[in-house]
């Protein structure tokens, strides 16, 4: 369902761009912080998690659909993960995780006002996994490992938020806050190793009993450059 919605919105974006070449479209850059955490269950048991501050940076293609409505594609490099996490089945171990994605949010944006323009936005997003790293503190020893092979390659989410833009000549500067609600259980299942020097531990993720979904509140700022009159 999410794949179909994303495809439909991409088609609308391209059609709108082609049919409104004289309208004021925008391109730009954005970047900011991702206050990220996860929903997690391991063997059916929940965990105590803390958030982690990571970052994202990318570009903007902003297509005008009507006077107040726009479609906005924001491809970006985005980090997701979680801070110190304690599992109920492993109370003596602290886990941390960080993953990197090529994130592709496609958002519908409704603008209000004349000069300074508040706006709200919402839409689907798909993340393509680039890397996934895991860290564990056990008995004062730090173990690290590569979890990409046991993590699903695509992460679908719903994004919604609000912001405000200000004119800067013919261009705009903006700041926005948005929440990303992950819909994909990113556990693919399988085994991988974590190590601390010569000490190696094998970790197994079970797709049937383990669950990880990404969450994140993002604060982004950027500049958008006008393409039309």
pLDDT tens, per residue, the chain with 229 residues: 555 554 554 554 455 444 444 457 899 999 999 999 999 988 877 788 899 999 999 999 999 998 889 999 999 999 999 998 988 777 788 999 999 999 999 999 999 988 899 999 999 999 999 999 999 998 889 999 999 999 999 999 999 999 999 998 889 999 999 999 999 999 999 999 999 999 999 999 999 889 999 999 999 999 999 886 5
Phi, psi dihedral angles at 48 (to 5 degrees): -95, 120
Tens-digit pLDDT profile for residues 184-204: 999 999 999 999 999 999 999
Domain count along the chain: 1
Q: What is the pLDDT of residue 126?
A: 97
Note the pLDDT of residue 170. 86
| Residue 65 structural domain | 2-226
The closest alpha carbon to 214, from 158, 175, 160, belongs to 158
User: What pLDDT, on the 0 to 100 scale, is given for residue 22?
Assistant: 46
For position 152, what pLDDT does the model report?
97
Q: What is d(CA 228, CA 225) in angstroms, rounded to the nearest whole number?
A: 9
Q: What DSSP letter does each residue of the chain carry, written as one string?
A: -HHHHHHHHHHHHHHHHHHTTTS--EEEEEEEEEEEEEEEEETTEEEE---EEEEEEEEEEEEE-SSSEEEEE--EEEEEEEEEEEETTEEEEEEEEEEEEEEEEEEEEEE-SSSSEEEEEEEEEEEEEEEEEEEEEETTEEEEEE-GGGB-SEEEEEEEEEEEEEEETTEEEEEEEEEEEE-S--B--EEEEEEETTEEEEEEE-TTT-EEEEEEEEEEEEEEEE---
CATH of the domain at 193: 2.40.160.20
Cβ-in-10-Å burial (0-12, 13-18, 19+) of 2 comes to: middle
Calpha distance 203→225 (Å, rounded) = 48
Report the pLDDT value the prediction gives residue 86, as an integer from 0 to 100. Answer: 87
pLDDT at 114 (0 to 100): 84
pLDDT number for residue 4: 53
Residue 21: per-residue pLDDT: 47
């Amino acid at each position: 369902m999410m794949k179909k919605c994303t495809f439909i919105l991409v088609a609308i974006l391209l059609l709108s761009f082609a049919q409104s070449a004289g309208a004021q479209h925008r391109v730009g850059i954005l970047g900011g912080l991702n206050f990220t955490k996860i929903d997690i269950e391991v063997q059916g048991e929940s965990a105590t998690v803390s958030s982690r501050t990571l970052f994202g940076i990318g570009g903007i293609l902003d297509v005008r659909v009507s006077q107040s409505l726009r479609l906005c594609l924001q491809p970006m490099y985005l980090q997701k993960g979680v801070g110190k996490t304690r599992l109920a089945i492993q109370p003596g171990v602290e886990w941390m995780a960080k993953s990197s994605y090529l994130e592709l949010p496609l958002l519908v944006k409704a603008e209000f006002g004349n000069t300074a323009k508040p706006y709200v936005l919402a839409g689907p997003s798909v993340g393509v996994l680039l890397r996934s790293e895991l860290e564990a503190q056990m008995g004062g020893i730090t173990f690290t490992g590569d979890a990409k092979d046991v993590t699903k390659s695509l992460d679908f989410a719903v994004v919604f938020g609000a912001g405000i833009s200000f004119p800067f000549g013919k261009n705009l500067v903006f700041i926005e806050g948005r929440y990303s609600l992950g819909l994909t259980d990113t556990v693919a299942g399988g085994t991988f190793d974590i190590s601390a020097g010569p000490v190696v531990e094998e970790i197994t993720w079970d797709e049937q009993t383990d669950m990880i979904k990404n969450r994140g509140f993002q604060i982004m700022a950027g500049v958008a450059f006008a393409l039309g009159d």
